[in-house]
Amino acid sequence: MEEFKFDGYRFDGVTSMLYHHHGIASSFGGGYEEYFGLGTDTEALVYLILANHMLHTFYPECITIAEDVSGMPALCRPVLEGGNGFDYRLAMSIPDQWIKLLKEVKDEDWNVGNIVWTLINRRHGEKSIAYAESHDQALVGDKTLAFWLMDKEMYTNMSKMSELTHVIDRGMALHKIVRLLTHALGGEGWLNFIGNEFGHPEWLDFPRPGNGNSFHYARRQWNVVDDSNLRYGYLNEFDAAMNKLEEQFHWLNSPQAYISCKHEDDKIIGFERANLLFIFNFHPNKSFADYRIGVHKPGKYKIVLDSDSAAFGGHGLINHSTDFFTQDFKWHDCPHSIQVVGTVAW
C-alpha cells in the first residue's frame, strides 16, 4: 500500500481458502449449514478478517474485493458487524453465464428469466462487482465478448465503408445491451478490462517460447477505436454514455432493481432502478409498438440512453423527443404502467 500506492487488493481464490474442501464438488445452495460447519477453514477465515481489519484501519480509503463464488454470508460486511470485512465480492457467475450462452446457445434461444436470475442472485446488503467478460477471455485460447458475437467478420466488415452485415449489426447491438444490462442490474460496482469497452478484436498473449517470444499480441490496438472509418468508435461512444449516465443517476449506489418484466416469448426485460426505467429487447426479429411495462412512479418519462441511436452505430428508429406518460393502469404488479412506442429488435 505504501511502497506501490495501491488503492486496494483483490484476494484471489477466496472460495478455495474458506473451505477445507476448497469448494470442490460443492453446489452452495445458500443454506447456512454449508458455510458454518466443520468444512469451513477457520484459520483462513481469521486471516482474511485480520487482513481486512488491518487494511481498513490503516488505510480507510482502501478497497478490498473477494473472488468468491460460494456466497459466504457476511463476507462483505464490516468486521465490527461480525463480518469478514471485504468491500465487494466479484460476481463471477455473470461472465460465466454470458460466455456459456455465447458458446452453447443461439441468441434467439436465450432464456431471459435465467439471465435476470443470474444478474440479481446475490446477497442483499453485500456489494458485488458486475462484469460482462473476464480477463481469461482476453488471453490467448479464448475470445472476447465481441469476438464471440462477430468472429471473423470483425476483420472484414467493421469498416463503415463496407456492408453492414447482419452479423456485425446484431453483434454490435448485443455487445451494447449485454454490457448495459450487466452494468445496471448485476451489482454495485462495474469492472471492465481495458479495450473491451470498444470490442477489441483480438486476444492478449505475452512473449513466451510458444509464440517465439513475440510481442505482436502483447498490446491493445487503440488505433481501431481512434480510426473514424471503423465501427469500433460506436461501441466506445456507447460505453462512455453508459458510464456518464451512471455518474448522473448513481444506480450502482442504489438498492437492487425491481424487475417488472421478463417476458420469455417477447424476450423483453424491464426493471426500475435509481429513478430510471430500463427496457431491453433481446428478440432477434420482432419490434413492438405500445408495449406496456409496469412502473411504480407516475409521470412523464423521456429517453436518456438508446443503444439503437445512430450515434452508437444503430438504426435510429426511436424518436428521442417523444414524451411517454404513465397511465393509472396496474400492470406487472405495479400501480402504474407505461406504453413504449418503438421498442426495437436489433
- Interatomic CA distance for residues 184 and 252, integer angstroms: 7
What pLDDT was estimated at residue 302?
96
Give the CB-side neighbour count of residue 307, counting CA atoms within 13 A. 25
Quote the percentage of the chain above a pLDDT of 70.
Answer: 97
Is the per-residue pLDDT at 207 higher than 60?
yes
Residues pairing with 130 in the sheet: 190
What pLDDT was estimated at residue 344?
56
Confirm whether pTM is higher than 0.75: yes
> Confidence band (pLDDT; 50, 70, 90) for 140?
low
Show which residues are catalytic: 12, 67
Residues pairing with 64 in the sheet: 9
Residues pairing with 279 in the sheet: 270
DSSP secondary structure of 165-180: -HHHHHHHHHHHHHHH
Residue 15 near residue 23 (C-beta atoms within 8 A): yes
Closest residue by Cα to residue 131 from 190, 173, 175? 190
- Interatomic CA distance for residues 170 and 244, integer angstroms: 24
What's 324's DSSP letter?
A: E
Is the per-residue pLDDT at 345 higher than 80?
no
What pLDDT was estimated at residue 343?
59
Q: Return the higher-pLDDT residue of 240 and 195.
A: 240
